[in-house]
Amino acid sequence: MTFFYKNVYINETATIAGPYEKKGPLHHYFDKSYDDLKMGENTWEDAESRILEESVDILLAKINKKRFDIDVFLSGDLMNQLTSSNYAASRLGIPYLGIYNACATSVEGLIIASNMIEAKQIKNAICSVSSHNNSAEKQFRYPVEYGGPKKKTTTFTTTGGASAYLSSEKSLIKVDSATIGTVIDMGIKDVYNMGAVMAPACASVLYKHLEETGRSLDYYDMVFSGDLGIYGKKILPEFMKLEYGLDLKNYDDTATMIFDVENQSVYAGGSGPACLPLVSYGYLFEKMKKKELKRILLIATGALMSTTMVNEKHTIPAIAHAISLEVNL
């Protein structure tokens, strides 16, 4: 399902990163970063919720608005029951819609907000996501303290909070169109190979986006997925070629951009709902401001993995949503 927009802009963004991201190549693009994973809180969950809320506060300061000026807060994260978002929403007091499509949540939020703004149902929205390496490891894998080795196809959940302010007020980053994806399950059960789980869902929404907009791949300066990782990033172009006969060349994956994957111990690269916005809201938008990128397609990919279902021998479904952004000349 594809939507076109005439009057939606991402006016401003704010990102907060954790210590691993701070040591990565994009460190000077974050609004704030922490050296410590606890961020002064007592638990990983509190730390994650804190950076989500803090990204909203930094965003509000940038646009010189108060919490009560915001019509809708759309937020999601990896924690069961969207814990980080819920507790941040509780403190923020903005009308709240909780959303969840795993690491595709960031673009899911941007789509719902863009639809409401385009239709003049709301005047503005803040879309947020967060993820935290240790809260995710604790919930989905093993306590970090175990120090167990992992497969090289494993991704490393990014620690970050990211927020975007959207309205119909003209600014440099225009939301052009977006496509909601369908769930794709290729029968993979390997929880340490999310790139392979998600690449077909990414290919599916990319193909559908091109089909429904009548565009070819070279319409975009670059297509960015987030987050397939080193191995999923190799699968996607192969899958696009085999399944749809398309040559995906102008392409990169934010999992491999947020970290120096050769020199940081992050296995196949970054993941988590925060990874794509941590890369795009800072680094990519800066490139757009400099007109080095004029039209980009962001595809957020989510593995809809449940530890319960994996223990019950189910395969892992995945989803992806695409949003097209262009420089408003």
CA angle 201, 250, 280 (to 5 degrees): 70
Q: Left if phi > 0, otherwise alpha if psi is -120 to 50, otherwise beta: which for 4?
A: beta
Residue 212 or residue 260: which is nearer to a copy of itself going by CB? 212
* Smallest distance, a copy of itself to C-beta of residue 229, A: 20
Residue 1 or residue 61: which is nearer to a copy of itself going by CB? 1
Residue 93 or residue 263: which is nearer to a copy of itself going by CB? 93
Residue 35 or residue 312: which is nearer to a copy of itself going by CB? 312
Burial of 266 (0-12, 13-18, 19+ CB in 10 A): buried
Can you tell me the distance from the alpha carbon of 41 to that of 48, in angstroms, rounded to the nearest whole number? 9
Two tokens at 168?
Answer: 């119909």
* Smallest distance, a copy of itself to C-beta of residue 201, A: 10
* Smallest distance, a copy of itself to C-beta of residue 190, A: 17
Residue 265 or residue 308: which is nearer to a copy of itself going by CB? 308
Residue 278 or residue 318: which is nearer to a copy of itself going by CB? 318
* Smallest distance, a copy of itself to C-beta of residue 22, A: 26
**Of 219, 253, 222, 94, whose CA–CA distance to 165 is shortest?**
94
Site for a copy of itself, rule CB under 8 A: 1, 3, 42-43, 45-46, 71-72, 76, 79-83, 86-87, 89-90, 92-102, 108, 111-112, 115-116, 118-119, 121-122, 139, 180-185, 304-309, 312, 314, 317, 319
* Smallest distance, a copy of itself to C-beta of residue 234, A: 24
Two tokens at 223?
Answer: 């297509």
**Does residue 227 have a cis bond before it (omega within 30 degrees)?**
yes
Strand, helix or coil at 85? helix
Asked if 241 contacts 247 with a C-beta cutoff of 8 angstroms, the reply is: yes
* Smallest distance, a copy of itself to C-beta of residue 249, A: 27
* Smallest distance, a copy of itself to C-beta of residue 310, A: 10
Give the CA distances from residue 96 to residues 74, 88, 93, 235, in Å, rounded to whole numbers and listed in that order.
6, 10, 8, 37
Residue 4 or residue 27: which is nearer to a copy of itself going by CB? 4
Asked if 42 contacts 25 with a C-beta cutoff of 8 angstroms, the reply is: no
